[in-house]
Structure 1
Amino acid sequence: MLVAGLVSCEDELDQAPLSDASAANFYRNSADFEQAVNGIYAQLSPVPDRYYDLSETRSDNVYGSSSTGVRPWDPVNDFATTLENNELIAEAWNNDFNGIMRANTVLEKLNESVVPEEGLRNQFEGEARFLRALYYFDLVRWFGEVPLYATVVLPAEALTIPRSPVADVYALIMADLNTAIEKLPASYGASGKGRATSWAAKALLARVHLTRSGPSYGIEGPGLEANEYSQALTLLNDVITNGPYGWVSDYASIFGYGNENNPDIVFDIQFQSGGLGLGTTLPGYMGPGSYFNAIPGIPSPQSGVEMRELSDDLLNAYVPEDVRKGVTVQEGFTDVNGNVETRAFYRKFLDESSPGIDRFDWPINFPLIRYTDVLMMKAEAILQGAAGTQQEVDDIVNMVRARAGLEPVANVTLGMLLEERRLEFAGEGLRWHELVRFGQVIDKMNAWLPQEDELNRMPESIEAFHVIYPIPFTQLTVKEGLYEQNPGY
């Protein structure tokens, strides 16, 4: 395997196969470029499972130690220092870089002669840059320093490109998002649902500013202590004031199968219905096979997925009145043999009445940025020192709490905001990144580990190096000395 999968020929995620087409003879007209841009979006397909594996399972939301200890997520859950050989780590690296490769190819081939209509050409460029920024942002948060490919490179050239400082990777991310804000349309017609908009680019850039402003932990990780809370707030206020989004009063409906692309969705990953195998695997991946075997109408149930139980700490954080718990959590079940399972798992994206071809094919989109998130990021920016008032913060948090059926609170602190975000976004893959961004990951996890580690497989405490993951071993061995492993692994 070459560095970053730059010579990968895996095209199964393309929405329409290119057959024997190559970059040399394919990019001839607008239809070809639309198909190619769809191929960049297609690399988002594994993201929901990845966020469950590398963020939720890593965090204090999930205790993911399996009965045998040999599942791919076990060493992620257990903070093993041998993760460089883990298939989940390799998947994150390879698929993100494949998305970057596809974006770079579109950007290289795009010009006026092949896409003469300026508006469409701008859209394609904006989408490619938005998605490249998104993939690089994930890489920075998972691995810290990564090789920087701003153009298409040949495999031989890739072997000369070392990892770049995090600040340099962020420079490309922010430049791409600023260009995307300029080039992307504010909205699309019905046929363009799910495509990136200028509003999505602004919201993502705000999250980048917040992440850059987080603590560094003394490592080459996602936080640079950049103090860019004011920049984030400007973008967030623009999305809130001028964007086409709005408050959805019923929490469950945000994730309803018949209510996709509702006003709370700023950007999501689109999955198809119709039993074509183009749905998301996430609902079936988060739940155990024994649960689905007990439900009539679920096609071809299998028992290959073992439960990753939700932590007692998360379950106890929900008060009885909080309606979000019932939407988010499946608290036990009875299997086909009458055995009672008392452990809990995530069910937020599950509708048992709408399966596809099997329990790994669900026609529900996965949100990456919600309007509720935009509001709560505004509260975060204000609490971190951007212009604003305590009343604005309290009002935002109390909107969220009122929808959840909870009483209002006053004088919200960063700690209170972090806890409210935990309950609001549980199962959406944000928790690890937010613990890191708020500067709470070491303290929170070190308090949590001794309480939850029933099988005694975790370390007594984690250290700063655990904030990011190791570089996959396959990348380290491509060319000796090209990359150095992240400290601690």
Structure 2
Amino acid sequence: MKSNYIIICLLILLSLSSCKKFLEPAPRDMLSPVNYYDTEQQMNNAIAGVYDILGRGQLYAYSLQSRLATEADEGFFASTSRTTGPQFYDLSSSDSEVLDFWTALYSGISRANAVLENINKPDMDETRRNAIHGEALFLRAYYHFLLVTNWGDVPLILSTAKSVEGNSVARTPAAQVYEQITKDMIDAEALVPSITEVKIGGRVNKSAIRGILSRVYLYWAGFPLKNTAKYEDARNWAKKVMDDTEAAHDLNPSYSQVFINYASDKYDIKESLFEVEFATTGIYEHGQVGSWIGIRSSNADIGTAYGFIGASKKLYQLYKAGDLRRDRSVAPFYYNADGTKAYWTGTTFYGRSVGKWRREEETARPKLSQNTPINFALLRYSDVLLMFAEAESELNNGPTQACIDAVNKVRRRAWASGINTITITNQGTGYTSAPTVTISGGNGSGAVATAVITTGKVTGINLSPDPLTGVKLGSNYTSPPTISITGGGGGTGATAVATIHQVSDAEISMMDKDAFMDLIIEERSRELCFEAMRKYDLIRWNILGFTLNQMSNDIKSNAPDNYKYAALSSSNFQPKNLVLPIPISEIALNKGLVQTTGW
């Protein structure tokens, strides 16, 4: 720890690069705090340094999506060239990525503490002072939250080091760390502006704090602390977001558009409450969202990408017919070398990439190799609705109508209103080429299909592929459209009928507590997959080991031979893997630290 403590507020000026909309370039030289924090601009630069940690590679640039938080049941590390590391539950206390993660978080805490200790020093606008004060409090708490969820008991650091001596600090019990996290966040909520004043999701705001507080309390209520009294706090803070008439939070009508916005540098503060910002130009940090986790590509026009994470068969099969989230979250295609798309067949479960973040949707130019400007969401409104529903059900020993309504709001947004099936009722005769299929009526539009002929008969009608929805099933149909089959080199007689998806099919009805919890476990994966939360959800529900064992057994039994390696991401799990090891180098520096049992 000593190595972190002596990096006090002086580091604030080193790299201020993660937030592309509101941060200005700042000096990179080293100054004593005695000679700094004298102006409002210097305080702006200082808080920029605290935000900077979020965009580090060890956090949301890539590690938490592809190394440290994806090792659950939604995907696997799709590479045979590496077989050890946190993503395989095969690591030691000397693992460099774990050390980098730990170091980045304590660096962020040191920077936040330096801001807090000097917040009253400059003569500046009081509204701006309060905002910076709140931002620093929240970010210090958020970094502690990431620490306690990954390591359990951790040193709680609330001041900068004043000397290289005397920095032996013991681990603080997790419950005490949670007490400080929630205190800091609640204090911060009163100081920062509303999201409508901030106007972007890249800066701490009241909605972001309220929603993250709900998450913090849910984790506190779950395993291992099991302080179930905190479910009430989780429910209440989520409800503050939902009841905020000024912000009027709501879901974007299109699930795909949420992620297109992140790629095209557009803010949607109704849906996206808090996000980490990246860019590809100037001094700003690059991310690997869409590259390290995304659709693999070797084409420079699309944007080159590693696509380290493969989507799991389990995740793909969680989605039911009509759920448009499936083909956004699990890419229905892969890129050829020339940038064209090749579509997977419906029975191919392995080899599919994470599809939420797509380099082809980036609007910034030029596109850099592997590096992307795609923002990463830390909190979306759909998460708030699902957290509210879970906490409300726990408080009432089963779902209330408010729970059902919140979940249904998420599910309705996800549902198709296009073609469901096309059934051939007469194959006809005499077709020498594929006839034209026309879909009309039904008050909807956008569906496109093609016919398949065999020995002069129409033997299949297939909806055409679409990069966003998987197939061009259209939308807004209120009744089955008419299917017309014409042409085809003289053939006649083929007829077909269609059925449609209806948004009401998405809705759930009242159920008991256990059934509702099972639904929440699945729904959070369907909605929030690959957003760096699944591992932690499974831990707080105390089902991570069980879930990974199921996934490993399924892969070993059912995956094609060339994908058996995918079981490595789940088969090595041991109970000690519920937390990360304290880095051995930190134990050597900080004599107050004691290693976690098992590590």
What TM-score, normalized to structure 2? 0.72
CA contact (8 A) 1:449 1:461 kept: no
1:206 — aligned with what?
214
Q: Which moved further from structure 2: 228-237 or 180-189?
A: 180-189
Task: Note closer, same or farther for the CA distance 1:386–1:443 as it changes in structure 2 (3 Å cut).
Answer: same
Q: 1:222-233 alignment to 2 at 5 Å?
A: 223-233=225-235
CA distance in 2 between partners of 1:459 and 1:211 (Å)? 22
The answer to whether residue 424 in structure 2 is matched with residue 422 in structure 1 is no
Structure 1 SS opposite 2:252 = coil
Deviation larger for 96-105 or 470-479? 470-479
Change (3 A) 1:75 1:21: closer
Structure 1, unmatched stretches of 5+, are 217-222
CA contact (8 A) 1:277 1:357 kept: no
Q: Which amino acid aligns with 1:166?
A: A
Q: Deviations over 1:151-194 (max 9, x none)?
A: 11145346321111112211211110111012112246467662
Residue 68 of structure 1, aligned match among 78, 81, 96 = 81
Cα pair 1:53 1:88 within 8 Å, conserved? no
**Residue number in structure 1 paired with 2:561:** none
Between 188-197 and 406-415, the greater mean CA deviation after superposition: 188-197
Q: Deviations over 1:444-473 (max 9, x none)?
A: 222222223523646757443221111112
1:296 to 282, 301, 315: 301
Deviation digits for residues 231-288 of structure 1, max 9, x if unmatched? 1212211111115122322111112234423411111112236576644222111146
Q: Which stretch of the first structure deviates more once superposed, 61-70 or 421-430? A: 61-70
Distance 1:306 1:255 in 2: 17
Cα pair distance change 1:236/1:386, threshold 3 Å: farther
* CA displacement 1:404-428 (0-9 Å, x = unmatched): 1152222251111110110100121
Task: Determine if contact 2:169/2:593 at 8 Å carries over to the other structure.
Answer: no
Match of 2:168 among 144, 155, 160: 160
Amino acid at match of 2:242: I
Alignment of 1:54-133 (within 5 A): 54-64=67-77, 66-70=79-83, 74-80=84-90, 82-111=91-120, 113-133=121-141
Aligned match of 1:169: 177
What's the counterpart of residue 191 of structure 2?
183
Distance 2:134 2:577 in 1: 34
Q: Output the TM-score relative to the length of structure 1.
A: 0.88
How many angstroms does 1:56 deviate by?
4.2
In structure 2, the partner of 1:446 is 549
Aligned to 1:34: 44
Residue in structure 2 matched with residue 7 of structure 1 by the alignment: 7
1:110–1:121 Cα contact (<8 Å) kept: yes
Task: Pick one of 371, 380, 384 that aligns with 1:370.
Answer: 380
Native 8 Å contact 1:2 1:155 kept in 2: no
Residue 53 (structure 1) shift = 3.0
CA contact (8 A) 1:266 1:371 kept: yes
How many corresponding residue pairs? 471
Counterpart pick for 1:403 among 402, 413, 427: 413
User: Which deviations, in whole Å up to 9, do the C-alpha atoms of 1:122-171 show, x marking residues without a partner?
Assistant: 11110000100111000111111111110111453463211111122112
Shift of 1:332: 4.7
Q: Is the 8 A contact 2:113 2:160 kept in 1?
A: yes
Between stretches 434-443 and 97-106, larger displacement belongs to 434-443
Tell me which protein shows more helix as a share of its residues: 1
Query: How many angstroms does 1:379 deviate by?
Result: 0.3
Q: CA separation of 1:94/1:172 partners in 2, compared to 1, >3 Å: closer, same or farther?
A: same
Q: Which residue of 1 aligns with 2:538?
A: 435
- Letter of the aligned partner of 1:470 in structure 2? P
SS at match of 1:283: coil
CA distance in 1: counterparts of 2:194 and 2:315, whole angstroms: 37
Match of 1:219 in 2: none
Residue type of the alignment partner of 1:98: S
Corresponding residue to 2:588 among 467, 477, 487: 477
State the Cα deviation string for residues 332-363 of structure 1 (Å, max 9, x = none).
52542899896112121224142554143333
Q: Taking structure 1 as reference, are residues 183 and 296 closer, same or farther at Cα in structure 2, changes over 3 Å only?
A: closer
The answer (yes or no) to whether the contact 1:267–1:369 under 8 Å persists in 2 is yes
Check whether the contact 1:276–1:357 (CA below 8 A) recurs between aligned residues. Answer: no
Residue 166 of structure 2 corresponds to residue 148 of structure 1: no
The change in CA–CA distance for 1:44 and 1:413 in structure 2 (over 3 A counts) is: same
* Partner residue in 1 for 2:21: none
Please report how far the alpha carbon of residue 330 of structure 1 lies from its aligned counterpart in structure 2 after TM superposition. 2.1
Partners of 1:139 and 1:321 in 2: CA distance:
39
- Report the residue type matching 2:297 in the other structure: F
Identity of aligned residues (%): 24
| Equivalent residue in structure 2 for 1:264, among 271, 278, 284 | 271
Measured on the aligned residues, the alpha-carbon RMSD in Å equals: 2.8
Bigger CA radius of gyration: 2
Aligned counterparts of 2:119 and 2:321: Cα–Cα separation in 1:
55
Contact 1:7 1:155 in 2 (8 A): no
**Any idea what the Cα deviations from partners look like across 1:73-125, whole Å, max 9, x if unmatched?**
x4223222x332222211210111111011000011111x5144322221111
Alignment partner of 1:251 is 2:255: yes
* 1:267 partner letter: F
Question: Following the alignment from structure 2 to structure 1, what is the Cα–Cα distance between the partners of residues 570 and 540?
Answer: 22
**Higher RCO (C-alpha under 8 Å, 6+ residues apart):** 1
Q: 1:6 to 1:420 in 2, by over 3 A?
A: farther
Report the alpha carbon displacement of residue 11 of structure 1 after superposing the two structures with TM. Answer: 5.7
1 CA distance for matches of 2:44 and 2:66?
A: 31
- Structure 2 regions of 5+ residues with no counterpart? 18-24, 345-349, 416-504, 557-563
Task: Return the letter of the residue paired with 1:323.
Answer: L
Conserved? CA contact 2:153–2:174, under 8 Å? yes
Which deviates further from its counterpart, 382-391 or 470-479? 382-391
Q: Which stretch of structure 1 is more off in the superposition, 229-238 or 307-316?
A: 307-316
Alignment of 1:453-464 (within 5 A): 454-455=564-565, 457=568, 462-464=573-575
